[in-house]
Structure 1
Amino acid sequence: MGRACQLLDDPDTAIIHLGQSVDFLRKLNAPEFLVRGLLARASFCREQGQFESARRDLDEVLEIAERCGMRLFLTDYHLESCRLLLAENDLPSARDHLAQATKLVAATGYHRRDQEVLELEKLLAAAGPVDD
């Protein structure tokens, strides 16, 4: 519902629905579903310029993914962290997260994310050279 409101350009309603979804998933005590909700809300918050809220959700995703051995969600964490850091213009940290995601894609065979990796590589290349 939150994503639908976002697509309809109703961010105030979208964040309410995303928050309710995360709260419901937290009560289910099913980390594999909670992580998805947190990633969706982090993405939305990033797109709205609410970087601290996005970071809080991503921190929770990282904690759950590491604790539960969810390497695919760890990949998603690094990809979304890269996007957040790009939005904040922290290019070195964004590159670090993309490198971690790339390694995880190769190690896990999570090739559903290959296109996202390529798109982020292009964005980082366009953003400027790598500082040594």
Structure 2
Amino acid sequence: MNEALRGNRRQRKLVDRIAAGAIIAAGVGVVVPLVVILGFLFIEGLPALHIDLIRDNPGPVGTPGGGIKNSIIGSAILLALALAFGLPLAIATGVYLAEYGRTRLGFAIRFLVDVLAGVPSITIGLFVYTAVVLNMDKARSR
């Protein structure tokens, strides 16, 4: 009986080592191409990175060069607006749920928060675009 258990243990250790080797090989097979691609992008893109890229406005269409100053400023404005609208609402919601979370409204808010947390933001963005932006265009044409 003891010999059978030892043989079974050796076989399990062999299978374990083979599986571990296969997992390591698969990991290396995924990481190496990723490192090669990122290295290529870094080496080829490094000459284009300079202070003028951040400081300058975009150039006219069809001309090489230009910067991304407008994009950075636009992103900062969007971030500030999102924080100005979202942060007070989020804090108020959190405080309400912490203090009065056992009410019917509290359960409804918690459900809606769970739904929003579970749905990808691209799906919400497409829904809002369809519901709001496309309808604005129809209202303008009347």
CA radius of gyration, larger in: 2
TM-score under structure 2 normalisation?
0.20
Higher relative contact order (CA 8 A, sep 6+): 1
TM-score under structure 1 normalisation?
0.22
